[in-house]
């Protein structure tokens, strides 16, 4: 394949205008690249109406998706039904559609005839096999395809995971790594094509351990988060992080993980809070964020009790002495006392 300009892709297509697609398009616009954002057409006289509304809502997002509001003008709305020819001018194509293998295969097969031979093609999934998706493309395009996994929200998270299929040209990975570091300001890890890669596998493992020990030692969730923040440096703990990014999305991740990793011992130990699947039913994965562990009612913040599943006022965990403790038994005693 002929490589594009190594340090900057001139025009980038984002396939899918869900939560990741929208915010990724915004961050690419922040990097001063032209972005063509694809969504399904709206029925009616204006096929772009729904996407235009999504872009208007994106300008109101907090924390801001755009570095400056005027950067939104770098995003051109497009529809899968009417505008696929625009892909011919794009040298990077990023697929961000729903986390279902059949859907992603269908999208890649549909856009393949419009992709030029110099373009790099990626997907943001970490649950569908990169090898499987590569086979959805014509043989002549498979060397240009790989996985490019980012975490939400893409403007503010540092990690990018790159995953190759057996067909991927190594120069494609080098080019994307260079772009992610130099232009997007990210840190790149090259990972194997295994379910959830590294970051989400660790997130599931950490949630499993945090929930397990909250139940075992009857800890409040705010105590667990405070310990993780104060002692281990996780700035928002586990449960506040899940709430911040949407418990509904995390439930979808857990369900995808269980389907992809039926023998995983960490997943087998997860005792699901009943309120988590309930949150997933309230909204779909790409909808507004849903908080579950910490909620606000009548002006007061409440915390989910991991033992009985009810909400109660947040308690302040006295953690001042923890950082000086080394002995494991003393740790456990202090943690128990903090919940007394």
Q: SS3 of 294, please?
A: strand
d(CA 73, CA 294): 36
Residue 211 confidence (pLDDT): 85
Residue 337 confidence (pLDDT): 66
List strand residue ranges (DSSP E) for the chain, in order.
Answer: 11-15, 34-39, 75-79, 92-95, 120-123, 145-150, 159-164, 187-191, 294-297, 300-304, 311-313
DSSP state of 193: S
Model confidence at 313: pLDDT above 50? yes
For residue range 195-234, list pLDDT tens digits in order: 889 998 888 888 888 888 888 888 889 888 888 877 667 7
What average pLDDT does range 116-142 have in this prediction?
A: 95
Provide CATH code, domain 11-191: 3.40.50.720
d(CA 264, CA 258): 8
Q: SS3 of 80, please?
A: coil
Domain extent listing, the chain: 11-191, 199-338
For residue range 172-187, list pLDDT tens digits in order: 999 999 999 999 999 9
For residue range 272-302, list pLDDT tens digits in order: 666 666 555 544 444 445 778 888 888 888 8
Residue % of the chain over a pLDDT of 70: 83
Name the percent of the chain in helix, strand, coil, to the closest 5. 45, 15, 40
Structure tokens at 325: 């403790």
For residue range 105-126, list pLDDT tens digits in order: 999 999 999 999 899 999 999 9
d(CA 139, CA 203): 35
Model confidence at 156: pLDDT above 60? yes
Residue 197 confidence (pLDDT): 92
Model confidence at 5: pLDDT above 60? no
Structure tokens at 39: 């969504």
> Which has the closest alpha carbon to 249: 210, 199, 292, 193?
292
Residue 256 confidence (pLDDT): 76
Structure tokens at 319: 């953690």
For residue range 63-78, list pLDDT tens digits in order: 899 999 999 999 999 9
> Which has the closest alpha carbon to 338: 318, 314, 312?
318
When pLDDT is cut at 50, 70 and 90, the band that residue 329 belongs to is low
């Amino acid at each position: 394949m002929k490589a594009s300009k190594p340090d900057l892709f001139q025009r980038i297509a984002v396939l899918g205008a869900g939560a990741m697609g929208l915010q990724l398009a915004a961050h690419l616009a922040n990097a001063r690249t032209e972005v063509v954002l694809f969504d399904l057409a709206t029925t009616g006289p204006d096929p772009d109406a729904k996407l235009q509304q999504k872009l208007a809502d994106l300008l109101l997002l907090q924390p801001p998706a755009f570095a400056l509001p005027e950067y939104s003008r770098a995003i051109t709305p497009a529809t899968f039904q009417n505008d696929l020819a625009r892909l011919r001018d794009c040298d990077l194509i990023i697929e961000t559609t729903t986390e279902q293998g059949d859907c992603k295969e269908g999208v890649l097969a549909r856009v393949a005839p419009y992709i030029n031979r110099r373009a790099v093609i990626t997907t943001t999934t970490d649950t569908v096999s990169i090898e499987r998706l590569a086979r959805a493309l014509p043989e002549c395009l498979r060397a240009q395809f790989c996985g490019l996994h980012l975490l939400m929200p893409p403007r503010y998270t540092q990690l990018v995971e790159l995953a190759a299929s057996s067909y991927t040209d190594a120069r494609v990975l080098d080019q994307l790594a260079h772009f992610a570091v130099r232009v997007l300001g990210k840190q790149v890890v090259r990972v194997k094509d295994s379910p959830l890669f590294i970051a989400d596998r660790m997130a599931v493992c950490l949630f499993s351990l945090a929930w397990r020990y909250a139940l075992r030692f009857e800890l409040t969730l705010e105590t667990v988060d405070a310990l993780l923040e104060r002692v281990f440096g996780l700035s928002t703990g586990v449960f506040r992080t899940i709430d911040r990014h949407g418990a509904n999305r995390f439930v979808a991740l857990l369900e995808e993980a269980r389907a992809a990793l039926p023998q995983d011992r960490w997943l087998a130990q997860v005792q699901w809070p009943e309120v988590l699947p309930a949150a997933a039913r309230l909204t779909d994965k790409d909808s507004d964020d849903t908080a579950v562990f910490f909620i606000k009612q009548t002006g007061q913040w409440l915390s989910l009790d991991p033992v009985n599943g009810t909400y109660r006022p947040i308690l302040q965990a006295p953690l001042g002495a923890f950082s000086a403790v080394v002995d494991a038994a003393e740790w456990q005693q202090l943690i128990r006392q903090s919940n007394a």
